[in-house]
């Protein structure tokens, strides 16, 4: 169960960094145009996933200037439902136990959930997506805010500069994922040193605490799509003891 999982040492986990490029900044109104992911652990990179996505509406010119993905590039790409099914299969192939990573995870999780909601609304949710389980997602932006409080803005580009990681092609999903991989490994080292100084083991619960909580990715669950963020287990337990009435 979850209670046992969070007590596992962080070295036992496989990580999956993922990133989306979209038609805009609205989780409710915009669509994914590219999705990429990389599976890795503390020792080596395992496999990658990358796909363009054909959105239901044209990509606004102002957004094309940011990521460079044009309507022509996505004309022959699979739709969101198909890509989400392939992404779900990729996660299963990645093995476990695993933890997903995203920078500003609320946005990327929200975009994946939004695509799934549209697929459900169109009655086109495939069997693969229907049976997908919940994935725990750590927000590396929140983690960086805690571990690097003196860094003015823990944006991905700022963190890449801080850790001297090459990010020559920002705002394409796979290049952003590769930067995220490098940033997370640096943050993981800082966090591990902090745990060692405290004389405590570095568990998944420790990582969740440092990140201020976690997100749940589950495209098939409407309740989770509506409220994907969760407090750290320790804080959630305290919150559960406090009622709203006198």
- Residue in this structure with the two tokens 């966090």, named with its chain if needed: 191
Please provide residue 95's backbone torsions phi and psi, each rounded to the nearest 5 degrees: 80, -175
Please provide residue 79's backbone torsions phi and psi, each rounded to the nearest 5 degrees: -80, 175
Distance CA 209, CA 10 (A): 13
> In sequence order, what are the residues at sequence separation of 6 or more whose Cβ sits closer than 8 angstroms to the Cβ of residue 29?
none
| Residue 38 β-bridge partners | 17, 48
Active-site residue (options: 67, 103, 171, 181): 171
**Is 46 part of the annotated catalytic residue set?**
no
CB atoms within 10 A of CB 231: 15
Annotate 37-73 with DSSP letters as a single string.
EEEE-SS-EEEEEEEE-B-SSPPPHHHHHHH---HHH
Cβ(17)–Cβ(26) below 8 Å:
no
Q: Which residues are catalytic?
A: 171
């Amino acid at each position: 169960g979850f209670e046992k999982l969070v007590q596992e040492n962080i070295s036992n986990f496989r990580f999956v960094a993922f990133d989306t490029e979209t038609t805009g900044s609205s989780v409710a109104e915009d669509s994914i145009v590219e999705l990429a992911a990389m599976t890795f652990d503390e020792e080596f990179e395992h496999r990658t996933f990358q796909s363009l996505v054909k959105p239901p509406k044209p990509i606004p010119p102002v957004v094309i200037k940011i990521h460079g993905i044009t309507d022509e590039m996505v004309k022959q790409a699979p739709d969101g439902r198909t890509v989400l099914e392939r992404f779900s299969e990729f996660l299963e192939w990645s093995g476990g136990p695993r933890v997903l990573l995203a920078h500003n995870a609320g946005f990327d999780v929200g975009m994946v959930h939004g695509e799934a909601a549209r697929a459900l609304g169109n009655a086109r949710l495939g069997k693969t997506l229907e049976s997908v389980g919940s994935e725990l997602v750590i927000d590396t932006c929140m983690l960086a805010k805690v571990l690097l409080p003196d860094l003015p803005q823990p944006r991905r580009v700022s963190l890449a500069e801080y850790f001297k990681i090459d990010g020559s092609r920002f705002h394409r999903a796979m290049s952003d994922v590769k930067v995220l991989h490098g940033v997370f490994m640096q943050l993981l080292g800082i966090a591990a040193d902090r745990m060692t100084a405290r004389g405590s083991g570095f568990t998944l619960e420790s990582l969740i605490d440092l990140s201020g909580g976690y997100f749940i990715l589950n495209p098939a669950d409407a309740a989770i799509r509506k409220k994907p963020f969760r407090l750290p287990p320790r804080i959630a337990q305290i919150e559960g003891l406090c009622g709203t009435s006198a």
